[in-house]
Amino acid sequence: MQNKSSLECAVEAAARLDQVLARQGKIRAPSLPLHNTIKPWEIFSSEFKINDLPSNARDVLTKGITREEISSFSGTKITLKGQLLTPGQPKANNQKPLYLFIQGPNKQSIDLAIERINNLVQEISQRANNSLMTANMSQPPPQYINLVQNMQGIVSFN
């Protein structure tokens, strides 16, 4: 006899009850199963390390709404695990650095989630680079600052 989890037992009991009630005409049998038919041993999983990503990308990926969007996009479940470890910080009690734990019904869903995460990290990095370039472009080079100040009558004693 194989041991079943309490969740599996509850799902089976609910299915039996639904069948009895459907036969009695008290409820209509669903056209699709209401419970998840994926067995625990059929679930695929992967870890996506985010501890060492730039802080702006890490901040976005740790938000629940971002993980929910990726989950609904890919058909996976994404859980934040581990702990943020700064460089040089010693690990205590087998601590794992911060990562996203991705679970899905097949390898394709996992790959789709990882692709979406990589795209988000790339977009965030590009936005950060663009804003840095814009900030640098709005400030003239130092040699021109003195020239402009002198033209405006501002004397600099550098």
Mind listing the pLDDT tens digit for each residue in 74-98?
A: 999 999 999 998 877 777 777 899 9
pLDDT-derived band at 130 (thresholds 50, 70, 90) equals confident
pLDDT-derived band at 107 (thresholds 50, 70, 90) equals very high
The verdict on 76 and 26 lying in the same domain is no
Question: What total of structural domains would you count in the chain?
Answer: 2
The pLDDT value recorded for residue 64 is 93
Q: What is the mean pLDDT of residues 106-111?
A: 94
Q: Return d(Cα 75, Cα 111) in angstroms, integer.
A: 11
The verdict on 50 and 123 lying in the same domain is yes
Q: Return d(Cα 59, Cα 124) in angstroms, integer.
A: 10
Q: Is the pLDDT of residue 158 over 60?
A: no
Q: Return d(Cα 16, Cα 94) in angstroms, integer.
A: 44
The verdict on 59 and 14 lying in the same domain is no
Over the chain, what is the mean pLDDT? Answer: 78
The pLDDT value recorded for residue 103 is 95
The pLDDT value recorded for residue 38 is 56
Domain that holds residue 146: 41-151
Q: Judge whether 88 lies within some domain.
A: yes
Q: Judge whether 157 lies within some domain.
A: no
| Structure-token match 């067995």, residue found | 39
pTM of the model: 0.58
CATH of the domain at 142: 3.30.1370.10
The verdict on 17 and 49 lying in the same domain is no
Q: Judge whether 115 lies within some domain.
A: yes
The verdict on 4 and 57 lying in the same domain is no
Q: Judge whether 142 lies within some domain.
A: yes
Q: Is the pLDDT of residue 148 over 90?
A: no
